[in-house]
Amino acid sequence: MRSKRAKVLHPLAGRAMIDHLLATCTEAGLGEPIVVVSPRQGEVAAHLEGRCRLVLQPHPGGTGDALQQAAGLLPPEDLVLVLNADSPLVRAPTLELIVATQRQSNRAATMATVLDPGRRDGRVQRGPSGEFLRVVEHRDAAAEALSSPEINVGIYCFEGRRLWPSLRGLKPNNAAHEIYLTDVLALLAPIETVLVDDAEEVIGINDRVQLARAERILARRLLERLMLGGVTVKDPASTWVDADVVVGQDTVLEPFTILRGATVIGEDCHIGPFADIGDCRLGDRVRVDHSWLRQSVIASDCDCGPFSKLRPQTSLDERVHVGSFAELVRSRIGRGSKVPHVSYLGDAEVGEGVNIGAGTITANYDGVNKNRTVIEDGAFIGVDTMLRAPVRIGRKAGTGAGSVVTRDVPAGATAVGMPARVLKRDGEGGVTRR
């Protein structure tokens, strides 16, 4: 992969490559997985800690040597399903079929194959009657062996009581002193084979070109799942969703929409075009247009954009409008309030029915601390208001255009000027200045 990151931790649709395979094993109802790692793969071990059993392969010695490290960890009567961690696109029904085939046979092993002559993987060699003879690795294959279109895809199911003794008889067979797991198949022959119809399902990933191909395949699958579940995807070619994304019925995804992480979107929403949403939760009937959202919670009947930016720990209650070029972070906006245009609300608590005038800024950082601004229900904030936190605007209070508010404004009062002074109506309807 030419990367500082371990291959199996490269992300596909928001999950590490190996996590896709582990999720598929769970979906197929298999037992606890055992993952064989090298001592040099500490980041892989840390990523998987507590989620599966880890076994160290002290020295890289090939796939046969890797499987030998797990000998004795499983009861001999168990079936042993062996997978490559860099093949994340295999589906649960395929694994179920391989295991079922092995259970129903009287053979020692079952191997998955595919007809894909362009692959540079091991070639299956068969006898005159079509019986399995052996697998010849691509690097060791002569021209005659390379003519076989049937490819070993690295998925096997073994009868444990016959597998483990046979593994002990394997010997290194190349200059790198690798022990090939495929050599055990010849020792156990005759074996069963399962031909996988979809070659894309069993591709391996060894470089960034193959990683991008796998990403495209997975994206198509995920979008098809959404569309079959009642979501409209206007242009699948320009729309991307991660594996853990959930989208409700009758929601529309416009072109150039990206849904990342654990995002959940409700029903009847309209998302995009050009929406980038990550790890957010959206209610029903939400509209997001040309906007960027991260780790935010958006209640039903809200709208954002175009060109809104909602940063982490932002929440919008029902029927909130966030307009063009507004940015919010660590802020909560109450029901029915509006943040129409070109505003920045950081560390703000905004009540219900509040109108935030264009150009309003909460100056939340004093050079040391992030301070809070509180705007109570029904307040009206005039255009180009600067609120120097910490500060509180009382219920149904207001500010004049261009005000710089450095002190609290009482309920029902209006503050104007730079710095702002509070105008408060007296009992006879006059105005007093404080």
Q: Summarize pLDDT for 108-130 with one digit per residue, the tens.
A: 999 999 998 888 888 898 888 98
For the chain, the structural domain boundaries read 7-202, 208-433
Class of domain 7-202: alpha beta
Task: Report which of 342, 13, 244, 283 is spatially closest to residue 271, judged by C-alpha positions.
Answer: 283
pTM for the structure as a whole: 0.91
Which pLDDT does position 269 carry in this prediction? 98
Which pLDDT does position 427 carry in this prediction? 46
Q: Report, as an integer, the average pLDDT of 131-145.
A: 73
d(CA 403, CA 91): 61
Alpha carbon separation from 191 to 108, 183, 311, 425 (Å, rounded): 6, 13, 56, 93
Give the pairing type, strands 132-136 and 53-56: unpaired
| pLDDT tens, residue by residue, 172-193 | 876 667 888 988 998 998 999 9
d(CA 143, CA 122): 13
At how many degrees (to 10) do helices 92-104 and 17-27 cross? Answer: 50
Say if CB 242 and CB 260 are below 8 A apart.
Answer: yes
| pLDDT tens, residue by residue, 210-232 | 999 999 999 999 999 999 999 99
- The single residue listed with the structure tokens 């055990």 is 184
In 77-229, beta strands by DSSP E: 79-82, 109-115, 123-126, 132-136, 150-159, 192-195
Read off the pLDDT band of 25 (50, 70, 90): very high
d(CA 120, CA 108): 27
Counting other chains too, the contacts that 299-307 makes at CB distance below 8 Å and 24 or more residues apart are 299/335, 300/266, 305/275
- The single residue listed with the structure tokens 């009062």 is 413
Say if CB 315 and CB 296 are below 8 A apart.
Answer: yes
Q: Report, as an integer, the average pLDDT of 409-421.
A: 94
Which neighbouring-strand residues pair with 278?
260, 294
CATH topology for 208-433 is UDP N-Acetylglucosamine Acyltransferase; domain 1 (2.160.10)
What residues are labeled active site? 341
State which H helix or E strand residue 63 sits in: helix 62-68
| pLDDT tens, residue by residue, 285-294 | 999 999 999 9
Q: Report, as an integer, the average pLDDT of 2-17.
A: 96
Total residue count of the chain as it appears in this document:
434
d(CA 23, CA 48): 12
